[in-house]
Structure 1
Amino acid sequence: MNTQDRFAQLEPALLEEINTHGIIKTFAMGDVIMRTGQYIKSTVLILEGMVKISRNDDEGSEFLMYYLQPGEACAISIICASKAETSQITATAMEDTTVLMIPIGFMDTWMSKYKSWYYFVLETYRSRFEELLVVIDNVAFRNMDERLQFYLKRHTAASQSNIIALSHQQIAEELNSSREVISRLLKKMEQRGMLKLHRNSIELLIS
């Protein structure tokens, strides 16, 4: 995958440097790309696939923050790499995924050398911050049935498919709920014609 296809907003000279110094890595669905507590030595750019960014506690509970798609970068990896800090999140491949790893040493140089990289980083921070505000609003001000609907719509938008290949248990873990509650709410949504429950997937019928 040519980086020009995914990051056309970046200057040609910068794209040339990215292609020269970037390291392409592939991950299978379910692979962990970045773990909580891991030192981050590279910024992650998404070329193909979809990546879930989540927050995990000491007991293994997970909270979904946002998804990353092709043409996007992980804001957390940029921050942690630039400051040589450990990651506070976990990044997981939701499907077969290809990423470009940019070594930490180029971060500061490119910020001052290339305006397109400077604006790309700012836009990455802005868009992730806005996504987190939406998540916070949903957690703070909505009931679980509304949160579940928001979650399903968000997942289908990120994957560009109305088929959600997740178990009820997986959804419950990401929403900090129980499988029984999620299964009951999904059944109610099916009765209302909002979705169809299949053996190993959920088909969302609303947009």
Structure 2
Amino acid sequence: MEEFIQEAYSGIFEKELVKEIAETAALIDFEEGDRLIEINDYIRSMPLLLNGAIKIMREDPDEGELLLYFLEKGDTCAMTLACCMGQTRSAIRAIAENKGSVVMIPVTKMEEWLGKYKSWRNYVFESYNKRLGEMLSAIDNLAFMHMDDRLLNYLKEKAKVNNTTVISSTHQEIAYALNTSRVVVSRLLKAFENDGKIKLNRNNIEIIAID
């Protein structure tokens, strides 16, 4: 496991820290659609993503969902960090976007390494800042952006984390992620197709020209 951690976090962690992570962390493999963290779960460990992608969702009072951000290789989840350190329940849902693997760091080690390793301390603080910026962007999208812009951003981010121009999500799944209706998503996707930005196929959406 040590070589996979070193490859994913090369240039980020000291060799001594990589070795400790390999000795103490639990390796978890996941498949697309797996629920890795559920809302109201107590979080006992912090995830470090070795490969694959995970989407972080927030649930609204009407039982809808909203995509906050994606985690990619080398990332961790700031909301999970906060829950670990504060020993509180999770306010987010983490769902595997595609196949991958993650190592889980026990909360006791998280606290110990903050004082022991400068690279770990920098990584934790930078992760907080990065995730905060992404959550502020999600708020801005809701407050200031039209749904067509939000949908375009979603398609671009989805293509990026999956490294493909073909998106297999259904119109209903996209509607859940953007906390809107399937009818609205279908109408906008058809407009994008008419503009030459995408091609709607029977089981997927092909990106052609999205800036």
Q: What's 1:32 paired with? A: 35
TM score, norm. by length of structure 2: 0.95
Q: What's 2:165 paired with? A: 162
Q: What's 2:7 paired with? A: 5
Residue pair 2:55, 2:71 contacting (<8 A) in 1 also: yes
Q: What's 1:84 paired with? A: 87
- The amino acid of 2:31's aligned partner reads A
**Deviation for aligned residue 1:23:** 0.4
SS in 2 for 1:190: helix
From 176, 180, 184, the counterpart of 2:179 = 176
Q: What's 1:142 paired with? A: 145
Aligned mates of 1:165, 1:99 — CA distance in 2: 23
Aligned mates of 1:134, 1:154 — CA distance in 2: 13
- The amino acid of 2:205's aligned partner reads I
Residue pair 2:53, 2:73 contacting (<8 A) in 1 also: yes
SS in 2 for 1:30: coil
**Deviation for aligned residue 1:20:** 0.3
Within 5 Å, give how 1:1-207 maps onto structure 2: 2-8=4-10, 9-205=12-208, 206-207=210-211
- The amino acid of 2:85's aligned partner reads S
- The amino acid of 1:112's aligned partner reads G
**Deviation for aligned residue 1:158:** 2.1
- CA deviation vs aligned residue, 1:145-175 (integer Å, no higher than 9, x gap): 1111111112112222211110000111111
**Deviation for aligned residue 1:58:** 4.5
SS in 2 for 1:177: coil
SS in 1 for 2:70: strand
Aligned mates of 2:85, 2:144 — CA distance in 1: 34
| Bigger mean CA offset, 143-152 vs 166-175 | 143-152
- CA deviation vs aligned residue, 1:64-123 (integer Å, no higher than 9, x gap): 000001111111111111221110000000111211011111111100000000000011
- The amino acid of 2:78's aligned partner reads A
**Deviation for aligned residue 1:142:** 1.4
Aligned mates of 2:85, 2:109 — CA distance in 1: 9
Q: Which runs of 4+ in 1 moved over 6 A?
A: none
Aligned mates of 1:164, 1:29 — CA distance in 2: 14
Report % sequence identity.
Answer: 41
Residue pair 2:98, 2:162 contacting (<8 A) in 1 also: no
Aligned mates of 2:61, 2:40 — CA distance in 1: 11
How many positions carry a matched residue from both structures? Answer: 207
- CA deviation vs aligned residue, 1:167-195 (integer Å, no higher than 9, x gap): 00011111111111110110010010000
TM score, norm. by length of structure 1: 0.96
